[in-house]
Every structure is written in structure tokens, then in C-alpha cells.
Chain A
Amino acid sequence: MFGTAIIVFREVLEASLIIGILAAATRSVPNSKRWLSAGVLAGLAGSGLVAAFTDVIGSLASGVGQEIFNAIVLGIAVLMLAWHNIWMSSHGAALAASAKSAGRNITDGSSECSILLVIVGLAVLREGSETVLFLYGIAASNDGGQSSMLLGGMVGMLAGITVGYTLYAGLLRVPMRWFFAATGILVLLLAAGMASQTAHFLIQADLLPSLAAPLWDTSAVLPENGLPGMLLHSLVGYDSRPAGMQIVFYLTALVAIFIGMKWVARPRQAPIKNNDIKITCP
């Protein structure tokens, strides 16, 4: 039961942390929770589909279909997180400006809100499909002790959700003047970590060279199967034995998104009267 709990916890943790960070980051955007919830539901539905077609996906592209699928899902998530973060930087700047003036324009953020749905959907899809497969495997086997293992799965899932919620609640306590910087940095690191994982799958599929593997080995100090390593892996993309190419992807994403954020949040010389735009989700 304990083993089952840990496996499910590990899978749920990453999606849970991403949802926690995004829910906090968009707390000033009306109705954003509705879009995040829709993303979870879409992701769960997708998980079932992906799990059911694991053998089909796996056999595509001469047996590396799974790696390509994961790389595409992660790649899209990186782009969406980048867009989201750059959008939130401008939103944060606008919020700070509107606090000083009385006027406030409400703009429809449909496309930005659907980005939230897609990011959460993809996160749940990737981690969820593995959980579904694992739990299906337990349910299908006749080893006995299924109920205790399924109970373990539930415990792991609840624990994963609790960690995500704790991060969300913690972020809401961050003072407003630090808040956008804090969530911005978290999303930036999430995206960079996913870029590194994208490279990881492309190396595993032999589509990219590893450029020195591993570049370093910190598994003795901070193993990835321990709780701190697991959390750091999900939050900042920690890898105890990364390939050089993963670092190239990590740094490229980090720098590119950071520049984008600085660019949209740059202070404008002469503030326009109606510049204080507030974004809302439909």
C-alpha cells in the first residue's frame, strides 16, 4: 500500500503544484478558477484516452512514439507557460498602475483564459495517464490485496493534492508587492524545468544528442526519489543526472521567457490615461 501511495503521489504532485501556482498567480483575474477546473476535467478525460492507447502511441515512430508524444505535450506546455507568464507580467504592471488611478478598463481575456485551461489540461494529461495505467494494472491483476493498494493510491492522490493546495495557500499570503514577482519566478522555473524534460525525452528517443550525459551527478546528495528531490524536480526541474542538452534547453527557456517578461513590464515613459487595463475571464 505504501509503495502504491508513493507512486501515485509522485504523479499527482507535479500537476498539483502547477495548478496551485497558476491558481495563485491568476487570483486577481475574475473567473480564472472556472477555467482551471475545466482544464483539470479535460486533462482527466484525456488521461483515460492516452492510457487506453498507450500501446498504439508507443509503437508509433519506430517505438519512440511515447517520447515524442511527451516531448510535444511538454513543449506546448512550455510555450503556454511562457505566454501566460508574459501576459501576467503586463497584467501585474497594469494592476499596480490601476491602484494609483480611479479609472479601470475591463478587457475580455478569453484567449488568455483558454491558455490556463490548456496548461492545466496538459499537466493533468501527462501525469494522469500514467496514474490511470498504474491503477488499471492493479485492478486488472489477481494478486489479491487490490483494495489496500487502491487505498494507497487514494492516499497518494490526496497527499499530492494537499501539497499543491498548501503551495497555493502559502502564495496567497505573500504580500501584494512581492506577489507578482514571486509567482512570475515560480512559473518561469516551471517552464524551464519542462523545457529540460522535453530535451530528456528527445534524447531518450535518440532524436537529440545528449551533449555529455550526465553533466553532473548529485544523486548521492539530493536523490530524485526522496521528497526534497521530488519537490525540486516538479518545481524547478531538478535532475540529479542531467544531460548537457537538458541544461541548454533549461537556460534557453529561462532567458527567453525572462526577456519577454521584462519587455512587456518595462516602465512606460508617459503613461497613457486608459492604460490601466484589468483582465477578466468569461
Chain B
Amino acid sequence: MRILFFFTLLLPLVTHAADIEYKLIINDHRFQPVELTIPSVTKIKLTVENQDATPEEFDSHPLNREKTIAGHSTATIYIGPLVPGRYTFTGEFHEATAQGVIIAQ
């Protein structure tokens, strides 16, 4: 009961502001674009479209995000707000080629 009450208290904190959308494409185990510049002050909605037939895992320790993306499908990941800086991410299943960086300004 107390836990329920706790969550009820948190509800107003969940923001419903219009999300700014950014898009990444995975093709041939590479991210496009390799560098993505986003505003740091706001939360963004990142969609990652995996055009390869094989699954990939979007993984970033700096961003504290991880998500598996099946072949030929699109995933949604919410990011930020961030402290301005560079945040690297990888496709964990193909780390040799799948590398990218998000620049928060």
C-alpha cells in the first residue's frame, strides 16, 4: 500500500512534453549517422532502425542505456536530459564496426 502511495506521488513528475525525435539507422553493422548532435537540456526520443537481418544490441555505458533490436525492426530509446559532452555507444553484437557517439550540446 505504501509503495502504491509512493508511486502515486511520483506520477506528476512524469513529464509528457512533446519529445524531440532523432533517428539512427543500422546498416551493414554500422550506425548512420556516426555522430549525432542533440540538445543537452531536454529529453529526446531516439529511434534506431535496424536494416540488417541480424539482431543488434544498442549499448552505451556512458548513457546508461541498453536495448536489443531484432533484425529489420525499429526500437525506441529515451535519452537525457544530459550534461553537455560526448557519449559513445556501440552495437554490442558487432562492436568492431558498430560504433557511434552522441554529442550533447
Contact = CB atoms under 8 A, between A and B. Distances in A.
Interface of A: 3, 7, 54-55, 58-59, 62-64, 66-67, 130, 133-134, 136-137, 140-141, 200, 203-209, 211, 213-214, 219, 223-225, 239-243, 252
A62 B95 CA distance: 28
Given A54-B68, A130-B68, A204-B67, 20 more contacts: A55-B73, A58-B68, A58-B69, A58-B70, A58-B73, A62-B76, A63-B74, A133-B93, A137-B93, A140-B53, A206-B14, A207-B14, A208-B10, A208-B14, A209-B13, A214-B64, A219-B62, A225-B61, A240-B61, A252-B3
A261 B53 CA distance: 49
Given A137-B55, A140-B54, A205-B78, A241 B70 contact: no
B70 to A, nearest CB: 4
B86 interface: no
Contacts of B20: none
Interface in B6-24: 6, 10, 13-15, 19
Contacts of A209: 10, 13-15
A3 B14 CA distance: 38
B73 A200 contact: no
Nearest to A136: B55
B57 interface: yes
A208 B43 CA distance: 13
Contact of B64 (A130, A213, A223): A213
Interface of B: 3, 6, 10, 13-15, 19, 43, 45, 47, 53-57, 61-62, 64-65, 67-78, 92-93, 95-96
Nearest to A242: B64
B57 to A, nearest CB: 7
A244 to B, nearest CB: 11
Q: Which among B14, B65, B73, B76 has the highest number of chain A CB atoms within 10 Å? A: B76
Given A3-B96, A7-B93, A204-B78, A54 B61 contact: no
B76 to A, nearest CB: 3
A136 B69 CA distance: 13
B57 A134 contact: yes
Contact of B67 (A67, A134, A207): A67
Given A58-B75, A134-B93, A204 B43 contact: no
